[in-house]
Amino acid sequence: MPEYFHSVKLTPERCKGCVNCTKRCPTEAIRIREGKAKITEHRCIDCGECIRRCTNHAKTAVTDSLDDLGNFQYNIALPAPTLYAQFSSDISIDVILGGLLTLGFDEVYEVAQGAEIVSAATREYLKKADVKKPAISSACPAVVRLIQVKFPELIDHLIPIEAPVEVAARLVRASRSAALQIPPEKIGVWFLTPCPAKMTAVKQPLGADKSNISGAIAISQIYGELLKAISTVPRDSRHRRATAEGVGWALSGGETRAVAAVNAMVVDEIHNVSEILEQVALGKLNKVDYIECLACSGGCIGGPLAVENRFVAEHRMKQRLEKIRAEDDRRGAVSQAGNPDPEVLTYDRRAIVPRPIMRLDEDIFKAMHKVEIMEQTLKKLPGLDCGSCGSPNCRALAEDIVQGTAAETDCLFKLRERVRDLAQEMVDLAKKLPPPLEKDDDDK
Ligand code: SF4
Ligand code: SF4
């Protein structure tokens, strides 16, 4: 299998081998070996669930930094709407965007503007007669990767429209390059992200050869500096262009509202998403038109690289959306989605290649044989799913044993049995020992 870029990394020195992360990983990508967590590269979808779970901060996301702006002639920030919810709703979006301009960016273009364009295109797409139902939103890269590894048969259900951030980057890079007469490669386009999967999607895009985004900077990384910067921005600054339709994408259900999908489902949190996709794969949800699937609880607002508590952020975002609606009503502002060039929206679904992880062997006969051995091995394990062996559950340990990456005695219960049997064998052998030779008194 080819190598994949991963944003989520482990710092082994901080790992205590506590197994918290192994049990929450949605693709069972983590094992504890020799007392440390290890991520199986081809299973990881960069959802960031392990970052949330590790209280020892051993799991982190590798992202770019403000220092990287120095490599470009002109720099544009693409803030995710989640950024706005990190601040109290008294601080307007205009002021937050003004703060970004003091951090070294020459310009700001809101991802929410891209979301408005994607909403308009999705509304049109859902009207088509040949849409495979249920259509699944492709905006969350962790969900697209989950489909690649666990449900490759659902790739045809993904909506073939680029994610808002990529649309925003394509538009702004091309237009500024033309307007400022700067070669496109000398323009730095930076996504301010709440999520490691989006960092991965920038480095290794899904559905395109190359991303138009130069890099991704974690919201948590710039938050402190931005907080200081916004105190210097005049309160009457005007930078916001996106409407509530695009900004609302930060919340679970915001996308569904924006695309005006009626017969729709909204599913957030990666384990819930996995359960629903299982139902789609079984053909149980064919009558649903559209499913918005989001890896994080509450939507992007719950991303592991955001700083604010997800519930607080959600509350702030709802207040903010009300304010924006009222303000836009006064100003008569409307979504500027228009009719974008289809090139801007191009997303090649064929480039989403299946990466199945459920198969035990490429050779179908060997795979079937391994399944048989795995089932027999599983029957011998205690079935407690305690995780103390370093695999997330007994089934995963049975699979690891069959694949030769673990031994039955990694299970503490099996190890105890083995030690007891060995001890018994030693006792039995000791009973068979010949009596010690008595030394003759004449030998003295
Ligand atoms: S949660 Fe995972 S990475 Fe963190 S200390 Fe425990 S085993 Fe290590
Ligand atoms: S990022 Fe997600 S898929 Fe990857 S190891 Fe962590 S929990 Fe598992």
Residue 30: CB within 6 Å of ligand 2? Answer: yes
346: left (phi over 0), alpha (psi -120 to 50) or beta: beta
What is the model's pLDDT at position 3? 64
What is the model's pLDDT at position 435? 78
For residue 122, give the 3-state DSSP assignment: helix
What DSSP character marks residue 207? S
- Nearest ligand, measured from the Cα of 33: 1
What is the model's pLDDT at position 442? 57
What is the model's pLDDT at position 289? 96
pTM given for the model: 0.89
Residue 305: CB within 6 Å of ligand 2? Answer: no
> Residue of the nearest CA to atom 5 in ligand 1?
15
Residue 18: CB within 6 Å of ligand 1? Answer: yes
> Residue of the nearest CA to atom 8 in ligand 1?
15
What is the model's pLDDT at position 208? 66
Q: For residue 51, report the distance from its CA to the centre of ligand 2, in Å.
A: 8
> Residue of the nearest CA to atom 3 in ligand 2?
44
Atom of ligand 2 nearest to the CA of 197: 1
CB 138 within 8 A of CB 347: yes
What is the model's pLDDT at position 204? 79
Q: 371-389: per-residue pLDDT in tens?
A: 999 999 999 998 999 888 9
d(CA 366, CA 373): 11
Q: For residue 9, report the distance from its CA to the centre of ligand 1, in Å.
A: 12
- Kindly provide the b/e burial profile for residues 1-31, where b requires at least 16 CB atoms within 10 angstroms of the residue's own CB: eeeeebbbebeeeebebebbbbebbbbbbbb
Residue 114: CB atoms within 10 A of its CB come to 29
For residue 280, give the 3-state DSSP assignment: helix
| Cα–Cα separations (whole angstroms), residue 413 to 22, 378, 397 | 19, 13, 13
Residues of the chain short of pLDDT 70, as ranges, are: 1-3, 206-208, 338-339, 342, 344, 347-350, 439-444
Domains of the chain in sequence order: 8-61 (3.30.70.20), 66-351 (no CATH), 364-431 (1.10.15.40)
- Nearest ligand, measured from the Cα of 31: 1
> Residue of the nearest CA to atom 6 in ligand 1?
18
Q: For residue 161, report the distance from its CA to the centre of ligand 2, in Å.
A: 25
Atom of ligand 1 nearest to the CA of 32: 7
Residue 237: CB within 6 Å of ligand 1? Answer: no
Q: For residue 6, report the distance from its CA to the centre of ligand 2, in Å.
A: 10
Nearest to 79 by CA among 61, 63, 101: 101
Q: For residue 427, report the distance from its CA to the centre of ligand 2, in Å.
A: 47
Residue 213: CB atoms within 10 A of its CB come to 26
Containing H/E element for 148?
helix 141-150
- Nearest ligand, measured from the Cα of 50: 2
Residue 49: CB within 6 Å of ligand 2? Answer: yes
